[in-house]
Structure 1
Amino acid sequence: MRVDEAVPAHPPDGAGARELAGLLRRTALGDAAAFEGLYRELAGPVLGLAARVLRDRAQAEEVAQEVFVEVWRLAARYDPEAGGVRAWVLTVAHRRAVDRVRAEQAASDRELRAGRAEPRSTPADEVPDQVERGLDRERVRRCLGRLTELQREAVRLTYYRGYTQREAAAALRVPLTSVKGRLRDGLIRLRDCLGVAG
């Protein structure tokens, strides 16, 4: 066993524990300097505990702040018979952090339930959308039929199949400039046929 393992960093009894108890007693009487001393001694352990429970630095800082507000308010209720000041403050910190985790989980569960509770669309609700999509497809098909063969193939390959203009030129066995020109002309004719502004 190493020496640092044998000796606790903060012994439960001794000068440290007595000093903390004195600071807490004076805090209970409204002594702001004593509270500041208590804060200096315990802020690190409280923040560390909250950070381990919450795994979120910002929330851990909020919880630590809430803990010290509670310590200030409840200092007079501290019972030395129940344990040391450090243990009492860290117990308050642990409870606050766990409460925050539970509150976050409850909020997440509520959002999940609300998402599930939203009314799902019925087949009757989908009919107008399906009809509109069908009409749009039919208009596009009709307008594509008005293009020249090369224009139609250039549009089909680049817009519907995802080819680059160079790949479309290779597939159609025509020069790249031909594909670019036919594509531009075809898109202009489609825009005019579909009545798309711009």
Structure 2
Amino acid sequence: MVIDGFDVPEDGSAADHAADLLVRVAAGDQGAFAELYDMLSSRAFGLILRVLVDRSQSEEVLQEVFLEIWQSASSFAPNKGQGRSWVLTIAHRRAVDRVRASQASADRDVRVGVRDAHTPQEGVVEQVESRIEGRRVVRALGTLPDPQREALTLAYFGGYSQSEIAALVGAPLGTVKTRMRDGLTRLRQEMGVTS
């Protein structure tokens, strides 16, 4: 038998043995499940790896396959087909499902990327206003005493916390907090902010 270009030999004794094991697995026989796993897992893994190429994903899918076999062995009909074929068909179907799911996820990512790429960018007016406002802030910062300007610059442009600023400038935390509060008050006054 050939599944996805993968030659799966069906000699009667091994196929019959797989069918017998599946019947026992359907009855909850864990030993039969372990034997079935030992007999077919490497073949199923090879088939899955051939479809997915990625080894770690193939290992995940192999686990899913044998979980499905454990859960649905009762649906195997020995009079309708070979046990090995039934197991390998499940493996192939699960591998193809994983490829489709990965492709669907990639397609969604592309759609989101395309949508985000077409969102309107900030207009010229907004850019000019932002630059003017930035210059006003820089000028207002220039009017502050050095310790206040340094604390505010480290906090708002450097992203440092008040504790980190205290460590950087070698000042007590309370002093840094006071410098920042006084500096912000003065900045508001310089920029004409009344609230």
User: Do both share a fold (TM > 0.5)?
Assistant: yes
Distance 1:84-1:123 versus aligned 2 partners, 3 A rule:
closer
Specify the code of the residue in structure 1 equivalent to 2:75: R
Contact kept, 8 Å, 1:49 with 1:94, in 2: the verdict is yes
Residue 35 of structure 2: aligned partner: 37
Partner of 2:90: 92
Counterpart for residue 21 of structure 2: 23
Higher relative contact order (CA 8 A, sep 6+): 2
Q: How does 1:183-198 map to 2 (within 5 A)?
A: none
Match of 1:111 among 109, 112, 116: 109
Counterpart for residue 59 of structure 1 = 57
Task: Tell me which amino acid in the other structure corresponds to 1:78.
Answer: F
Identity among equivalent positions (%) equals 47
Correspondences of 1:122-161 after superposition (within 5 Å): 122=120, 125-129=123-127
Q: Once the two structures are superposed, what CA deviation does each residue of 1:128-165 show, in whole Å capped at 9, x if it has no partner?
A: 336767999xxxxxxxxxxxxxxxxxxxxxxxxxxxxx
SS of 2:123's equivalent in the other structure is helix
Match of 1:47 in 2: 45
How many residues end up aligned between the 2 structures?
Answer: 129
**Inter-partner Cα distance in structure 1 for 2:54 and 2:13:** 34
Structure 2 Cα separation of the partners of residues 18 and 119 of structure 1: 58
**What SS class does the counterpart of residue 83 from structure 1 fall into?**
coil
Distance (Å, rounded) in 2 between the aligned partners of 1:78 and 1:124: 61
Change (3 A) 1:59 1:121: closer
Q: Distance in 2 between matches of 1:121 and 1:31?
A: 58
Q: CA RMSD in A?
A: 2.6
Aligned partner letter, 1:67? V
Displacement of 1:126:
4.1
Residues 72/17 of structure 1: CA separation in 2 closer, same or farther (3 Å cut): same
- Which ranges of structure 1 fall in alignment gaps of 5 or more residues? 1-8, 137-198
TM score, norm. by length of structure 2: 0.58
- For residues 46-94 of structure 1, the C-alpha deviation after alignment (integer angstroms, 9 at most, x for no partner) is 1111111011001000100000011111111101233211111110011
Consecutive unaligned residues of structure 2, counting only runs of 5 or more, are: 1-6, 135-195
CA distance in 2, matches of 1:64, 1:123: 47
Tell me the TM-score normalised to structure 1 length: 0.57
